[in-house]
Structure 1
Amino acid sequence: MTILLTSFAPWLCHHRSNSSDDLLASIQDNYPQKLLFLRQLPVNTHRASERVIKAIQDKKPDFVICCGMAENRYRLSLESQARSSTKKLFTPIPLKDFVKELAYSYISDNAGQFVCEELYFQILKHHPRALFVHVPLLTDKNFAIIQRDFQKIISK
């Protein structure tokens, strides 16, 4: 089984990096056969969606996990849905079962109404076996536990 993992580039001037990309960078060498990486997506809905959809068409992954930074959150947020205008798409992944085994993650019903949510919506239209994970700012105190939870997510 292959998983396509995506992350975003920094988008605000006070960000030296993007926590979603930092998390992917920390695991990139640990799963060489199983994971496909598409890192540093532009924080632009149209361009990011194009790149991910093209990667899905070219690589044909079994599963897609898109990651984005959530500066005001403190744990990993597993997004249950994506909205665009009046439409909603839901991930088919049984998130309630998923989070039972995670120490520092929760289910969110709000993907942020920004580039992350629109990207998630577009990806769910093209590849329903998808999940969006919001990553909080990473610190010395939370990095190890967030990394462990994320490794459990990609190992499922």
Structure 2
Amino acid sequence: MRILVSGFDPFGGEKINPAYEAVKLLPDNIAGAEIVKLEIPTVFHKAADVIEQKVKESDPDVILCIGQAGGRYGLTPERVAINVDDARIADNEDNQPIDVTIQADGPAAYFSSLPIKAMVERIKETKTPSSVSNSAGTFVCNHIMYQILYMIDKTYPDKIGGFVHCPFIPEQVINKSNQPSMHLEDISKGLEAGIQAIVERQGKGDIKEIGGSIH
């Protein structure tokens, strides 16, 4: 089994993005699965082009993207990606699409094909906060999740894919009041546990566990 794990470069004025930094700390083999690591640009459409090229090169069974969500307290596997870009800030090449459809022939939304609830449970076993997220936002993170699942739907039906958000790391919140953070090593440890769940649930689907939210 081969798993492509990508993380974004820094954006929004930050000097570091814990997403790819945590990916770099992952072992090259998790639960028998080969881990292929990739940094992707925080740029609409270009990020998807980079991933698709790597998919063609490495032919992974799983495509997993990691992104930063400042303000969150834990690792949050995303349930759904919606077919719209609505950028509150510009990406790293000054693109700022507002109310723009990602793929004209795509559905309104795609659900993750990863076992997100099993991932949450395994991450929590490492004493790392985690929960299912029901919104990936409308910036490049939602964009790339949608693009991955569109790619799988249209071209690679034998693959599965999805997205996980991670919090800031401590050095990012020194001058940010009341913002949670998580040490980089804990983020990577949690991601490793989530990947273990992906491997273990291969061909079995997700577990039935409470993971919804009221709002």
Q: Common fold, TM-score beyond 0.5?
A: yes
Given residue 109 of structure 1, which amino acid in structure 2 is its aligned partner?
A: N
Structure 2 residue runs without a partner (length 5+): 85-106, 153-158, 172-180, 198-215
Given residue 71 of structure 2, which amino acid in structure 1 is its aligned partner?
A: N
Match of 1:102 in 2: 123
The secondary structure found in structure 2 opposite 1:89 is: strand
Given residue 166 of structure 2, which amino acid in structure 1 is its aligned partner?
A: V
C-alpha offsets along residues 23-46 of structure 1, whole Å, 9 cap, x if unaligned? 11222xx2157111111x211111
More strand by share: 1
Alignment of 1:1-20 (within 5 A): 1-13=1-13, 15-20=14-19
Q: Which is greater in Rg? A: 2
The secondary structure found in structure 2 opposite 1:24 is: helix
Given residue 148 of structure 1, which amino acid in structure 2 is its aligned partner?
A: K
Question: Which 4+ residue blocks in structure 1 deviate beyond 6 angstroms?
Answer: none
Residue 90 (1) aligns with residue 111 (2): yes
Shift of 1:142: 2.9
Match of 2:46 in 1: 47
Alignment of 1:29-68 (within 5 A): 30-31=27-28, 34-39=34-39, 41-68=40-67
Match of 2:193 in 1: 152
Given residue 2 of structure 1, which amino acid in structure 2 is its aligned partner?
A: R
Work out the CA distance in 2 between the residues paired with 1:64 and 1:134: 14
Contact kept? 2:122, 2:194, Cα under 8 Å: no
Shift of 1:131: 1.5
Match of 2:163 in 1: 132
Alignment of 1:109-124 (within 5 A): 109-124=134-149
Name the Cα RMSD after superposition. Answer: 1.9
Contact kept? 2:24, 2:37, Cα under 8 Å: no
Query: Could you tell me the percent identity over the aligned residues?
Result: 26
The secondary structure found in structure 2 opposite 1:35 is: strand
